[in-house]
Structure 1
Amino acid sequence: MKNVLCIGEALIDFLSIDKGKNLCDTSGFIKKAGGAPANVAAAISKLGAKAHFCGTVGDDAFGKFLENTFNQNNINTDLMYKLKDRNTTFAFVSLMEDGERDFEFVRDADRYLSFDMIEKEIDKFDLYHFGSATAFLDGELKNTYYKLKEYALNNNKLISFDANYRDSLFSNNKDVFINCCKDYIKDSDIVKLSEEEAYLISGRESVKEAADYLISLGCKYLIITLGKLGAMLVTKDKQVLIPTKEIEMKDATGAGDAFMGAVIVQILNEENKNIEDIVKLANLVGGITTTKIGALESIPTWDEVKKYNEGESALTFN
């Protein structure tokens, strides 16, 4: 089984119980395991590869909850460190009526992952996934993030990157975020961006112009997700819009991470599979994830995907 390392933050998502209300007005929250790299790891595990989460949490009740949840989802936690005198990072999330989200972060433990902690354990992975929302903020995690990318490059490993922009984290420091994203886009085999991220990073005003610029930075495959329209697959030779099934959305949390996990697993497990078919199936995985509340528990297995895929003979499963 192929092994994937997902580096970055694991955190507690506190989801508002009042859909459509902002964080100021909500009356309470539900605790869920979260963090973009952890969500991708869950998708990878459910869909047929071995996921390893790499990051730091607090040595507290929330860190233990995350560890237990990851283990229950068959995510390897050997490189997940619980730090004394640090608090697990939180994200408070309100869901709007259209399923989109508003975030506020209370950050602590995730910033302290050092390269020394993981250096002796990083040679056994087939793909290195960089999808942290917090890694481009100041902290030791940022240094480790860059050192791990250099290791992967120098050892001819596959690299995937998902920007995961959060306005509440970078609204006052967008230039840093943009420049860091470009560093990763140029070195990655697979890049996934939302439409908004593509505009932000490229500085262009149309999807086509943004795609032309971003693919020129050096990545092999660029995927720009377009919500209900599906996703645009971009290579140096073409731009293809790949539509998705219309699915009623309850919560967008984790949908992009599930999409990313589905792309990664198919690329690792089905080397000769057409990239357009890979994206088409990943669209469906992401869409199904939006039909439930929360991230990890909403990500489907291949059996669940098949039930949604009846009649779609063009898609194949591993």
Structure 2
Amino acid sequence: MAQVNFKEGRELDAIVLGRAGVDLYAREANTDIADISGFDKYVGGSAANIAVAINRLGGSVGFIGAVADDAFGRYVQGYMEQQGINLDGMMVDNSGSRTSVAFTEMKASDCDVLIYRNNASDLTLKTEQIKPTYLQKSKTLIVTGTALSASPSREATLLAMQHARRVGTVVVLDVDYRPKTWRTDVDASIYYGIAANLSDIVIGNREEFDMMETVIAPGNQNDDETADRFLKGQTKIVIIKAGELGSRVYCKDGHQFEQGIYKVKAKKPFGSGDSFAGALIWTLTHGGSLEQAVSNGSAAAAINVSGTSCTEAMPSREELETFITKFEQAER
């Protein structure tokens, strides 16, 4: 692909950096948390979800992050190892931190998600854990933005991005903005701005780009102006997602296009962005065009929201191809 160049002959298609935790999903659909009888346990967290998404499609994936030295941390590691994800970059923190846990309702809209992140283990990631030799094994480094929200994870994340650029690894920023993990949008915009300028590809929704433009272009809602602003630095591709309106893709060379959604009956609103990013990067690292990658990402997102979990609802390559074929046949 002309926009970004992936190094051939590398052991891993991607290394994902960020949050791996536990998701507890409501067993009953369309039920308030107060009335739910129980929850089903899965591995979750944006970075872990993306890693599983790429792995499920047949890609080779590594991970950089931290979990607690407790039963949940061991559960997360065990699941990811069983999936075949390389955990050479995973740290076990024994300082008393806790692996992140999310409780969710199972609703297509107005879905309540309660995330417990007091002294979260993934934010204990340290600079000394970042190894250039590990990053050099991968075609891409995918950073999920929550890792920027606190020290020492913030410094470790920026260091990983700098090392990745130095060793020729393509850097992808999935904005993954969680307002409650930041003091203000101004604070967040400063660090996201630094991270975006270290990235070859930036993926976010309109609200996330609004946050990143808090200082430099407050009130801007124009996607064209946003893309132009972010493409002035190192970034070569900007993808702005707009939910049911699909997504807009902008390239540094002036090429741009839009991608619609694959309409399905959604069971939940979360997981779609992680599935999108995973299918996008898997396609690009396996020789697909940017248009194919964004289309596959949109299809994977649709498959995920029609499932009842995040990690276990990530499609295989066969499931993705079958879904797209059936959808295209139904549209004719």
Match of 2:160? 148
TM-align CA RMSD: 2.4
Change (3 A) 1:312 1:293: closer
Compute the displacement of 1:132 (Å).
Answer: 4.0
2:325 is paired with a residue of what secondary structure? coil
**Count of matched residue positions in the alignment of Structure 1 and Structure 2:** 310
Structure 2 counterpart of 1:73, one-letter code: Q
> Is 1:264–2:264 an aligned residue pair?
no
> Is 1:7–2:20 an aligned residue pair?
no
Q: Would the aligned equivalents of 1:127 and 1:157 in 2 still touch at CA under 8 Å?
A: yes
Q: Would the aligned equivalents of 1:263 and 1:278 in 2 still touch at CA under 8 Å?
A: yes
Q: Would the aligned equivalents of 2:12 and 2:137 in 1 still touch at CA under 8 Å?
A: no
Match of 1:71? 81
Structure 2 counterpart of 1:148, one-letter code: A
Q: TM-score scaled to structure 1, two decimals?
A: 0.88
Change (3 A) 1:68 1:243: same
Q: TM-score scaled to structure 2, two decimals?
A: 0.85
Match of 1:285? 300
Q: Would the aligned equivalents of 1:194 and 1:226 in 2 still touch at CA under 8 Å?
A: yes
1:288 is paired with a residue of what secondary structure? helix
Match of 1:299? 314
Structure 2 counterpart of 1:154, one-letter code: R
Of residues 250, 258, 261, the one that matches 1:241 is: 258
**Structure 2 CA distance for aligned equivalents of residues 100 and 221 of structure 1:** 31
Q: Residue by residue, what CA displacement relative to the aligned partner does 1:264-313 show, whole Å, maximum 9, x if unpaired?
A: 1111110xx33112211211111111111111100001100122122678
**Structure 1 CA distance for aligned equivalents of residues 316 and 18 of structure 2:** 24
Change (3 A) 1:309 1:228: same
Q: Residue by residue, what CA displacement relative to the aligned partner does 1:12-32 show, whole Å, maximum 9, x if unpaired?
A: 123345655666776654322
Match of 1:189? 200
Q: Would the aligned equivalents of 2:248 and 2:259 in 1 still touch at CA under 8 Å?
A: yes
Structure 1 counterpart of 2:176, one-letter code: N
Compute the displacement of 1:46 (Å).
Answer: 1.3
Change (3 A) 1:65 1:264: same
1:116 is paired with a residue of what secondary structure? helix
Match of 1:54? 64
Of residues 107, 117, 120, the one that matches 1:106 is: 117
1:241 is paired with a residue of what secondary structure? strand
**Structure 2 CA distance for aligned equivalents of residues 99 and 265 of structure 1:** 31
Change (3 A) 1:192 1:68: same
Compute the displacement of 1:118 (Å).
Answer: 3.7
**Structure 2 CA distance for aligned equivalents of residues 168 and 18 of structure 1:** 27
> Is 1:161–2:173 an aligned residue pair?
yes
Compute the displacement of 1:195 (Å).
Answer: 2.0
> Is 1:31–2:41 an aligned residue pair?
yes
Paired-residue identity, %: 24
